[in-house]
Structure 1
């Protein structure tokens, strides 16, 4: 179990050219009954079979506004973006931020399940299927990753590297990459209908540095490449996005 605070550098939204740096809490807890909390997700390990982990999971899907996706654990306030205000040139803002004029996507609680298979002691395949994304709550996302754990790379250091893919249904893809006729009329984006399929592929590295028995530095680097129909969305300014975070945490 550990709790801490760090900083995250990420795109303003998935597919954006501009980046944003924000303070983020980090949280990871697991109990002997199988219940766990990791960041903005929580679940229950129900398997007692070696090499196999499965159970239900819920997670918080952050909102999306012209200000950028929220990173707070608590739900953000809804409403109009503060990016447009008195004394600002709205036309210029529309040209510099393609989300201006688009419907805000509200925070959603997604529910589903997970299944992890340990191929070997160090190699694991993780899979998560969740439902309920988007304003219509009909979005579905399947995430599958293959991760390798370097346990003895150096004293007090642990490294996990992985590659993965995210598949989504049409409702999910349209929520985040589609542009309706109404949205096209009030933004700079042409009308666009997205479709189901592979949303992105990614490579990740997780690094934990144990400073002592109580404190650790936990960091993550993620490279994500939008592919398929989602990458053709007029909202996408850059197909390749980089996410970097690091945090200081206290272990209980």
Structure 2
């Protein structure tokens, strides 16, 4: 029996084995690869948000070092059917933003996305994403803000703990077209609710370029800038008078502004129609009051992630 197609999608007749691809401006699907030209690099490995969820995992799982790069929580458009994802990732991340040492850890990952656009996972919380116009994905979510504990690193002794809290977010992803044999995309992400007073906010803007490396592999290069308001900057990079007394750091008052610039490289490998591996390396360059903070011992932080995901 033929598998029913999602509405408003073109029928495609094929004769070969599986390939993950996107039909331009009509969402993602798994289809058999025709005997002619293979799909465009950016059209590979994108089954119902699997790739974007993996990339988002690679960038969000690290505690507040880098977020929302080349992946929105809701994935690409609206899935034809309900789908879940389960996997694990090994991470090397800074102990805190600006730390001069990394720590190794392993994290599980579980998410589920409904065909109507709603999604839930352990990183982004609960949200909704959809595609109001071809090439544009937008959505909102409610997640958890990053925490920080004195025990994370000896350099944080006397600084007190930053607790988690509810954080509101909104994201958008716009495909821009082709450039130098790859596909360009523009992504933005707004978040609000972090920090000690729950008034910390961030705005991130990222540009991505993706191309194929092989029949079932994809590479993404990314450049992103992140701005933060005074509430966020003071919580994670400032030093109050009381903290100065208990920690020995010089008092440091912050303003809102550019927080960091980030470069990233992501390589994605498709092992089967349901199994994907990911390798990611990113460099974060702290800027402005963040870079001037006495807490920042290294103005360039490196993060690496290796992940394996299974879709069901």
Provide TM-score, normalisation by structure 1: 0.83
Offset of residue 204 of structure 1: 1.2
Specify whether residues 38 and 224 from structure 1 end up closer, same or farther in structure 2 by C-alpha distance, changes over 3 A only.
farther
Work out the CA distance in 2 between the residues paired with 1:200 and 1:213: 36
Q: Which residue of 1 aligns with 2:92?
A: 9
Asked if the contact 1:26–1:247 (Cα under 8 Å) also holds between the matched residues in 2, the reply is no
Structure 1 CA distance for aligned equivalents of residues 108 and 266 of structure 2: 16
Superposition deviation, residue 34 in structure 1: 1.5
Q: 1:207 to 1:31 in 2, by over 3 A?
A: farther
- Give the alignment of 1:19-168 within 5 angstroms: 19-37=102-120, 40-41=123-124, 42-68=126-152, 97-120=154-177, 122-150=183-211, 152-168=212-228
Select the structure of larger CA radius of gyration: 2
Shift of 1:2: 2.4
C-alpha spacing 1:36/1:220, structure 2 compared with 1 (3 Å) = farther
Please give the secondary structure, in 1, of the residue aligned with 2:254: coil
Unaligned runs of 5+ in 2: 1-83
- SS of aligned partner of 1:140: strand
> Residue by residue, what CA displacement relative to the aligned partner does 1:86-107 show, whole Å, maximum 9, x if unpaired?
xxxxxxxxxx722111020111
Specify which structure has the bigger relative contact order, considering alpha-carbon pairs within 8 angstroms and separated by 6 or more residues: 1
Structure 2 SS opposite 1:16: coil
- Stretches of structure 1 that go unaligned for 5 or more consecutive residues are 69-95
8 Å CA contact 2:145–2:193 kept in 1: the answer is no
Pairwise CA RMSD: 1.7
Distance 2:171 2:154 in 1: 35
> Contact 1:12–1:67 (CA<8 Å) still a contact in 2?
no
Equivalenced residues, count: 224
Taking the aligned partners of 1:208 and 1:228, their CA distance within structure 2 comes to 33
Q: Does the 8 Å contact 2:283/2:303 carry over to 1?
A: yes
2:274 paired with 1:214: yes
Change (3 A) 1:194 1:18: same
